[in-house]
Structure 1
Amino acid sequence: MIEASYLDIGGCLSYVEQCGAGQPVLCLHTAGQSGVQWRHTGPALAALGYRVIVPDLPGHGRSEPAPGGPVTDLGTYSAWCGTLLDRLGVNRPFVVGCSIGGKITLDLAVRRGDRLAGAVVMAAGPGPGRVNLTGLRRELEDVAAPSRADRTQLGTLAVVGRKVPPERADLIATMHRREDPAVSGSDLIGWGTHDVSAEIGGIACPVHLVAGSDDLWLEPELIRQAADVIPDARFTLLDGIGHYPMEELEDFAAVLDGWLTDLTARQEKRR
């Protein structure tokens, strides 16, 4: 059963869903989206013995806007997630994130890795993401362009992997067009400016980096190279998958369970 609540974190009421019991796992969504991206994974992962925590970041989904307006610094979201974990009294959780959620996950691993059981970083690397910052900042001045929703849908389809059935890819893209362009544009500025490259060598928890071979938002080889810098990190390349593994893979909860089990084993070896 999913338990939903609103928590006052950082001055805004934030929507958080939880289900299951056991080892906690914080699941973070992508730019402009919400925890709905984990709607299939959450209950299935809970059935495997985890306590799954899925928030809507400030300004996303059912959460109120961030007090200062849309956020362009992903470090702000990372601090918010740290406060959320503290408020929930969560002890040594896994953190799993995709896209900006992946960058936030990596930021959390850098800032408080000694308090995490491990991190799964999907579709993200430690350096600034590939994006046109000038264009994004200009677009924020005119976020009501009628074509924006269509561009979001078509852009999402472009980064879904070739192995994803057409009807599933179309559902992913249709769900994504619901986003608030002011929020998603600000998120992408954060994607293009966030950089923890100089700090990943000191991460204190086991990390698993994941990239899709069909992801046009990044270069998988750069993600593999980052795994060489992070102590004891592992890298997985998903053939035929794009930017949204938790939405594209049919039984993602089972795949994630395997990764989390591996992180646990590696954590035990460190002790």
Structure 2
Amino acid sequence: MKAEYLDVGGTRSFVLEEGQGRGVLCLHTAGQNGVQWRDTQSALAARGYRVIVADLPGHGRSEPAAGGPVRDLAEYATWCEELIDLLDLDRPFVVGCSIGGGIALQLAARRGGRLGGAVVMAAHGGSDVPGMSVRGLGRELVDAAAPSRSDRTYFGTRAVVGRSVPAARAELIARMHRREDPQVSTSDLIGWATHDVRAALPTIACPVHLVVGDDDLWVDVRDVRSTAAAISDAQCSVLEGVGHYPMEELEDFAVLLQEWLDDLALRSIGRQREHT
């Protein structure tokens, strides 16, 4: 495993790498960091992938973004593009959850021809997030450091963890999440609630696998299926008893992810043959 700081987009950014083979860039959720992939990274690397887990600007061990907390997922997509080029990744896969899923979908829309495919979890192409108000999130930034914010993060996380997750595991996920920076996480949520790539979905030039848990209170399964239907080469999986964080909720998630990546690789080869 290699851990290093890289200058990406003018930010001193923390990046973990493990394994050899096809690159897989893993993106975390709002306010969180690469630790969410701790149970997946080594297991996936052992299956023959070069796994890259990066902390987005202002998250985890990365320094803050030059312009302050980011409110537009397109800025994170640009950052990811620079990281992919800096690491010289050849047709990598991008895997993301929540805002990470939104960023992965933006990357597929922007440079799908240079990706092997994208796994988009807990996200869809539009900006409709049940129960989330951009105005309300903006008000939170005025007093985002209030002690109650950490409790809201804790209880909000518990609410969207799936029913199939053991109680001890759900508690660990929620306690890990409450460590986030409220200014950064609230800005992330504004970006998530306002991102909209629906117009670009028909132009996506790589295979996409959309994933949603049927216990996810923040994402409507119908929106995810609608997004998949708008992409020429997309599949949709609905995970029973799973909430908003599949990579943290599911044991042996790397095994399931490998199945999805293998399928994306086959579909990507098929697309390349069609265009030769």
What TM-score range do you get, normalising by the shorter chain?
over 0.9
Matches within 5 A, 1:1-271: 2-130=1-129, 131-270=132-271, 271=273
Contiguous gaps of at least 5 residues in structure 1: none
- How many percent identity over aligned positions? 64
Any idea what SS the aligned residue of 1:250 has? coil
Q: CA deviation at 1:225?
A: 1.5
Any idea what SS the aligned residue of 1:189 has? helix
Contiguous gaps of at least 5 residues in structure 2: none
Work out the CA distance in 2 between the residues paired with 1:259 and 1:96: 10
Number of residue-to-residue matches in the alignment: 270
With normalisation by structure 1, the TM-score equals: 0.99
What do residues 40-77 of structure 1 show as CA deviations (whole Å, max 9, x unaligned)? 10000000000000000000000000000000000000
With normalisation by structure 2, the TM-score equals: 0.97
Work out the CA distance in 2 between the residues paired with 1:144 and 1:84: 31
What do residues 150-194 of structure 1 show as CA deviations (whole Å, max 9, x unaligned)? 110000000000000000000000000000000000000001100
Work out the CA distance in 2 between the residues paired with 1:56 and 1:222: 28
Work out the CA distance in 2 between the residues paired with 1:7 and 1:206: 29
Q: CA deviation at 1:129?
A: 3.9
Q: CA deviation at 1:11?
A: 1.5
Any idea what SS the aligned residue of 2:56 has? coil
Work out the CA distance in 1 between the residues paired with 2:3 and 2:153: 28
After TM superposition, what 4+ stretches of structure 1 lie above 6 angstroms from structure 2?
none
Any idea what SS the aligned residue of 2:52 has? strand
